[in-house]
Structures are given as C-alpha cells and as structure tokens.
Amino acid sequence: MSPATKRSVRTVLQGVAAFAVALPGIVDAAGLPKSLPWVAGGLAVAGGLARVMAFPSVEALLDRVGIGLVDEETPSP
C-alpha cells in the first residue's frame, strides 16, 4: 500500500473519530431526544469509538494492518 493510500485511510478513520466526538453536540443542536433508541445507541457507539481511538494500542493495531504512521523516505545524497 502506498504512503498516500495509508494517509487517506488514516484520515477517514480520524474523520469518523472526530464525528463520534461531535455527535453528542449534533444531537443537542438538532433537539433530538436522547431517549430515542437509535440516538442513544449512536451516542454510546460514538463515545466508545472516541475513547478507543485515544489508546496507544490503536496505533499498534494500525501498524499490524498496514496503515500505521509512515515516514517519508528521503532520498540519500
């Protein structure tokens, strides 16, 4: 997998995590009752995902599946 593809996949994952963090605010702004089953389920999943993305072990998992942080290879002089 090319470094550009790895960066794209990581960006999508980070976007999902950012949405998960923002979901409670979106629900409040929309005026949706938090007692609706699908809203409550979405908030629970969003909170769990945001928490999991904060773990250093997530980076290790991303390394294992091939989308870990990549350093640009600099050409040697």
How many domains does the structure of the chain reveal? 1
Is 70 within a domain?
Answer: no
Residue 75 backbone dihedrals phi, psi, to 5 degrees: -65, 135
Contacts by residues 30-37 (CB-CB < 8 Å, ≥ 24 positions apart): none
Is 60 within a domain?
Answer: yes
Is 69 within a domain?
Answer: no
pTM, two decimals, is: 0.53
pLDDT in tens, 60-72: 887 888 777 666 5
Is 16 within a domain?
Answer: yes
pLDDT in tens, 4-53: 888 788 778 877 877 877 888 888 888 888 777 877 777 777 777 767 76
